[in-house]
Amino acid sequence: MAKNGIPAAFYDLEGTLVSTNLVHTLAFYSTRQQGLWQTAKASVSTLAKLPFFGVTDLYSRNVFNEVFFRSYEGWSEDRLRYFSEELFEEVLKPAIFPGTYDLIAQGKKNGQRQVVLTGALDFTIDRLMDHLGIDHWVANRLEFVNGYATGRVLPPVMASATKAKWIREYAEREGINLSESYAYSDSISDLPMLSIVGHPVAICPDFRLKQTARQHDWAVVDLR
């Protein structure tokens, strides 16, 4: 970490810059499977798993990721990538919080490098990152074998402490001054990421993060 380096702004994505989450993306792809039967089967399966996803996310974000991405097992890589533009236009773009654009613009004006860290899959947010003008970002990568998803995420899996570790390594490599940097998130699961910068900010925070922010006198912002 460079003490005299440049500042950065590190953002979580889902619930922080956009109102959607990983389940919205999965639901979208469930309705884009090849053939009526496959589409119906995937859609029903996704709906049935929603309560389980909620429980595992409360228990552990890492466990949630491991369980959640198994839902993509057997899906075609070509088909997933083909519909990514439609995903952006129909789901992600309308979900961008109104305040997101100004927040990013102000960060750039202040000389902060803009960096997004997300548990979303890389091919699902590529277009969104272009739209927001984010050149530096890291996302989860789904493993494909012979053109089909295995349901496994390639390491490192972006969640909780992994994000903080990635930021430390990135800062060391890129000459980022973490003491002068900002981090933004809506979830207590990102507490490790928020804790390693000089300026943590809670965006539309969940109850536990809101309480933590108040205890530590962190800024709380609503971009909606």
CATH of the domain at 143: 3.40.50.1000
* Cα 19 to Cα 13: distance, rounded to the nearest angstrom: 9
Q: Which domain holds residue 50?
A: 8-221
Please indicate, yes or no, if residue 3 is contained in any of the structural domains: no
Please indicate, yes or no, if residue 91 is contained in any of the structural domains: yes
Please indicate, yes or no, if residue 177 is contained in any of the structural domains: yes
Q: How high is the pLDDT of residue 106?
A: 97
**Burial group, residue 207, by CB count within 10 angstroms (0-12, 13-18, 19+):** exposed
Q: How high is the pLDDT of residue 220?
A: 97
Please indicate, yes or no, if residue 190 is contained in any of the structural domains: yes
Q: What percent of the chain has pLDDT over 90?
A: 72
Please indicate, yes or no, if residue 1 is contained in any of the structural domains: no
**Cβ pair 103, 96 in contact under 8 A:** no
Q: Where is average pLDDT lowest: 62-66, 84-88, 131-135, 179-183?
A: 62-66
**Burial group, residue 190, by CB count within 10 angstroms (0-12, 13-18, 19+):** buried
Q: How high is the pLDDT of residue 33?
A: 61
Please indicate, yes or no, if residue 113 is contained in any of the structural domains: yes
- Residue keyed to tokens 């003008």: 133
pLDDT in tens, 44-93: 344 444 444 444 444 445 556 667 888 899 999 999 999 999 999 999 99
Please indicate, yes or no, if residue 2 is contained in any of the structural domains: no
**Residue 173 pLDDT > 90:** yes
**Residue 96 pLDDT > 90:** yes
What's the number of domains the chain is made of? 1
Please indicate, yes or no, if residue 61 is contained in any of the structural domains: yes
Q: How high is the pLDDT of residue 32?
A: 74
Q: How high is the pLDDT of residue 62?
A: 57
- Cα 212 from chain centroid (whole Å): 21
Q: How high is the pLDDT of residue 67?
A: 74
Choice between 117 and 29, residue whose per-residue pLDDT is larger:
117
Q: Over the chain, what is the mean pLDDT?
A: 87
Q: Where is average pLDDT lowest: 2-6, 82-86, 127-131, 191-195?
A: 2-6
Helix (H) or strand (E) holding 219: strand 219-221
- Residue keyed to tokens 């979208």: 28
